[in-house]
Amino acid sequence: MLTQLALRDDDESGSAAEAEYAASLTAALGALLPLISPPLLQYPKLCSSYFELLSTLLYSRPLAAIGMPSALYESVLASLGFGFAHHEIAICRSALETAYELARHAAANEAHAAPMASMLGALLSRVATDLLTSRLVPDVVEPAAGNALLALIVCQQSHWQALVASLLAAQPTADARERLAAAFGALLASNGVTVSLARPNRARFRANLDALLRAVGAGGFVLPA
């Protein structure tokens, strides 16, 4: 029912009636989302319907999706973490695509996205760690995980810098730190990559990401548990 309500085609910044409708939808989401726990998502039909709801909400009503009360994003974060680790490729890919859309809309609407800042930082750490430690199946790394990582970096640049700094600090030798710093530096500074979500830039970033992951896999670095 909420998926169908989210599909209603209205201008989110329009009339008072639309504002009231958006508030009612947010209230309904506030009643539902905290109930959708990882154990419930073990049920395949409910899991698919849940990610369809998030996708529809981000497509049809992005400002509502990124402007919910901050407490609701704790539930969204838990569900996305469940999705990233899901054994079905379609669910894992859907969770990564949802993370991409959340970050993309947050980057484009910073004034509305403050409630989700903590979740976005946690998602960035999770996606980066899953990529660096090869926890994601190869079928979702290209393009879903690469796109998600770039979008999260774009909207959480200071968090990304802190994450990289912590990884460098964890290396036991100066040589390892230098090699890892060079690998991370190339991710955003080679192949013409910019901090942008334009389609050609996403493709260039994913090529750089592949090079980073190969360097990390062969480098013997200390990585997050």
What are the pLDDT tens digits along the chain (225 aa)? Answer: 889 888 876 555 557 777 788 788 889 999 999 999 999 999 999 999 999 999 999 998 898 899 899 999 999 999 999 999 999 999 999 999 999 999 999 999 998 899 999 999 999 999 999 999 999 999 999 999 999 999 999 999 999 999 999 999 999 999 999 999 999 999 999 999 999 999 999 999 999 999 999 999 999 999 988
State the pTM of this model.
Answer: 0.93
CB neighbour list of residue 201: distance below 8 Å, 6 or more residues apart? 150, 192, 193, 194
- Distance between CA 167 and CA 20 in Å, rounded? 46
> Shortest CA distance to 92 belongs to which of 41, 36, 57, 33?
41
Residues 6+ apart with CB under 8 A from 197: 104, 107, 150, 151, 154
For residue 153, the model assigns a pLDDT of: 98
| Spatial CB neighbours of 188, under 8 Å, sequence gap ≥ 6 | 153, 195, 205, 208
First to last CA, the chain: 40
Residue 137 tokens read as: 């199946």
| pLDDT score for 9 | 61
31-36, long-range: CB within 8 Å, 24+ apart, which pairs?
32/2, 33/68, 33/72, 33/75, 33/76, 34/71, 34/72, 34/75, 36/75, 36/79
pLDDT, residue 87, reads: 92
Burial class of residue 112 in the structure, from the number of CB atoms within 10 Å of its CB (0-12 exposed, 13-18 middle, 19+ buried): middle
Place of tokens 């996403």: 202
User: Cis link prior to 138 (omega < 30° from 0)?
Assistant: no
CA dist 219 and 141 (Å) reads 20
